[in-house]
Amino acid sequence: MRISTERLGSEIRAGAVSLTTRSVVRALAMSGDPVMRVLGRRALEDPYPEYERIRARGAMVRHPLGMHITTDHAISRAALRDPKLGVKPAPERPGGIPWQVVSGEEARYVHPLDESMLVLNPPEHTGLRRLASPLFTPRAMQDMTRDVETVVDRVLDRVEGRARFDLVADVARRIPIEVICDLFALPDADRTAFVRWGQVLANTLDGIRTLGERREVRRALAEMTRFLSALVDERRRDPGEDMVSRLVAGEVDGEPLDGRTLVALVGILLLAGFETTVNAISGAAVALLRHPPQKQLLLDDPALAGEAVEEFLRYDAPVQMLGRIALEPVTVGGVSLPAGAMLVIVVAAANRDPAVFEEPHRFDLHRPNKRDHLAFSAGIHYCLGAGLARLETELALRHLFARMPRLALAGETRMRPVRNVRGAGAVPVLSRGEQ
């Protein structure tokens, strides 16, 4: 079977492999191809040995199917900052079964991952980014600290008395959604729906695999579009101090944003900060539980929580790889790429580049250069919510271990079947350790 290079490249960029290409990928994986093995089932639990096999082939690996892949830190950072490389507009980005139809009711649904700043190049990207940036300044984060702490306390209050709970469902999944709902000033009654939409869309980041999933995605997008459109209208009529009101009041090039663009913008703040932060909170806690001497460092000095967050982001990036397309001919890592060429930047592997990080596979809170990781990307798409993600994860770790110093894993953790946004689906824990 032949599949186009372009198409496979796009799917890999999205971390997705569609039904039609899956058999080709499987055949290549069985032939031992390390690039394709990254997409295989076994790499879900631990993709790092596969990343090392790719690294062993060189800093820029050209795959027979067309795209280039890099695991090199210096090349990755330079590529993410290179204006000749851009993101690929989403409508050309297949990922499994497409959720949308060309006309009718669905044409009005907004998928924030298809039409927000994340998938726009300059000049469209620039105005939207400028509009949203003031909401996430270091000063704004400082002002939010008390509120985030209140959310973390509220969530931990609910589990503290329990001998056993699930770190993902009962703790990590609740914090980012509660925080963003507070920032949007949403009533409690609307929050359950937010969690549901976030989960449905996060679970299909690798592409939609079944018709049942497509139904769920469409239902979530229909409800979310309706809800966010009404929210935007309401805040236009009756503005407050919340994030949505501030975005509604903002302008790009002297014009207010239209409803659809606002819905995509509010939606991306919900989606981009949801599963990624869930995975950072649960993943960092698990890394500490699996490395008792490192956990002890945090117990002895809770101020190390911020160091633990940075080292975790380096050690196991929640967003494992990013894709870029050459907007014009460009040289990357000494290799000339024509316009339209695809580049896959495996940031999780760049974060373990031995040329930059000594003993890169070791989880070490005292690593001096851990902040050099690329977990939040680099260049113009550098994560807008990085400060908020850091704040939430740091406060979650600090309070979790202060309240439950004997916290212990109570069995196997299960990774969610999504490759690009990596994280556990369930982490059973004992709050007072083994009895």
Span of 14-22, 99-107, 271-279, 362-370 interacting with ligand HEM by CB under 6 A = 271-279
- Taking residue 328's Cβ as centre, other Cβ atoms within 10 Å add up to 12
Give whichever of 106 and 124 is closer to ligand HEM, judged by the CB atom: 124
Contact 421, 205 (CB under 8 A): yes
Q: Using CB atoms within 10 Å of the CB of residue 358, give its burial: 0 to 12 exposed, 13 to 18 middle, 19+ buried.
A: exposed
> What would the x/- binding string for ligand HEM be over residues 367 to 406, using CB under 6 A?
--------xxx---x-xxx--xx-----------------
Cis-peptide, bond into residue 292, ω within 30° of zero: no
CA distances from 1 to 17, 20, 114, 192, 247 (A): 15, 9, 29, 44, 48
Among 43, 319, 326, 407, binds ligand HEM (CB under 6 A): 319
Give whichever of 263 and 410 is closer to ligand HEM, judged by the CB atom: 263
Span of 94-102, 149-157, 186-194, 266-274 interacting with ligand HEM by CB under 6 A = 266-274
Per the document, the length of the chain is 435
Give the residue among 212, 189, 217 at the shortest CA–CA distance from 202. 217
Q: Using CB atoms within 10 Å of the CB of residue 211, give its burial: 0 to 12 exposed, 13 to 18 middle, 19+ buried.
A: exposed
Among 65, 85, 90, 118, binds ligand HEM (CB under 6 A): 118
> What would the x/- binding string for ligand HEM be over residues 185 to 224, using CB under 6 A?
----------------------------------------
Distance CA 93, CA 114 (A): 9
DSSP state of 319: B
Give whichever of 55 and 125 is closer to ligand HEM, judged by the CB atom: 125
Contact 315, 365 (CB under 8 A): no
Sign of CA dihedral 369, 371, 373, 379: negative
Among 87, 156, 289, 348, binds ligand HEM (CB under 6 A): 87
CB of 163 to ligand HEM, least distance (A): 29
Please identify which residue in the block is written with the tokens 């117990």: 299
CA distances from 165 to 155, 172, 411, 429 (A): 12, 12, 11, 6
Site for ligand HEM in 274-293 (CB under 6 A): 276-277, 280
Distance CA 307, CA 133 (A): 25
Distance CA 245, CA 238 (A): 8
Tell me the site size for ligand HEM, rule CB under 6 A: 24
CB of 227 to ligand HEM, least distance (A): 17
SS3 208: strand
> Taking CB positions, which residue lies at the least distance from ligand HEM?
385
Give the residue among 319, 331, 293 at the shortest CA–CA distance from 78. 331
Span of 162-170, 252-260, 272-280, 295-303 interacting with ligand HEM by CB under 6 A = 272-280
Give whichever of 337 and 344 is closer to ligand HEM, judged by the CB atom: 344
Among 16, 200, 263, 272, binds ligand HEM (CB under 6 A): 272
Asked if 79 touches ligand HEM (CB under 6 A), the answer is no
Distance CA 161, CA 171 (A): 13
Give whichever of 180 and 346 is closer to ligand HEM, judged by the CB atom: 180
- Token pair listed for 246: 């501030």
Among 262, 268, 308, 424, binds ligand HEM (CB under 6 A): 268
Within 153-295, strands assigned E span 164-166, 251-252, 255-256
CB of 415 to ligand HEM, least distance (A): 16
CB of 180 to ligand HEM, least distance (A): 6
> What would the x/- binding string for ligand HEM be over residues 123 to 162, using CB under 6 A?
------x---------------------------------
Give whichever of 217 and 384 is closer to ligand HEM, judged by the CB atom: 384
Asked if 117 touches ligand HEM (CB under 6 A), the answer is yes
62 bridge partner residues: 68
Span of 9-17, 91-99, 151-159, 268-276 interacting with ligand HEM by CB under 6 A = 268-276
344 bridge partner residues: 69, 323
Give whichever of 269 and 286 is closer to ligand HEM, judged by the CB atom: 269
Span of 40-48, 101-109, 265-273, 364-372 interacting with ligand HEM by CB under 6 A = 265-273
Q: Say if strands 330-332 and 335-337 run parallel, antiparallel, or are unpaired.
A: antiparallel
Residues that bind ligand HEM in the complex, under the rule CB under 6 A: 87, 117-118, 129, 180, 268-269, 272-273, 276-277, 280, 318-319, 322, 375-377, 381, 383-385, 388-389
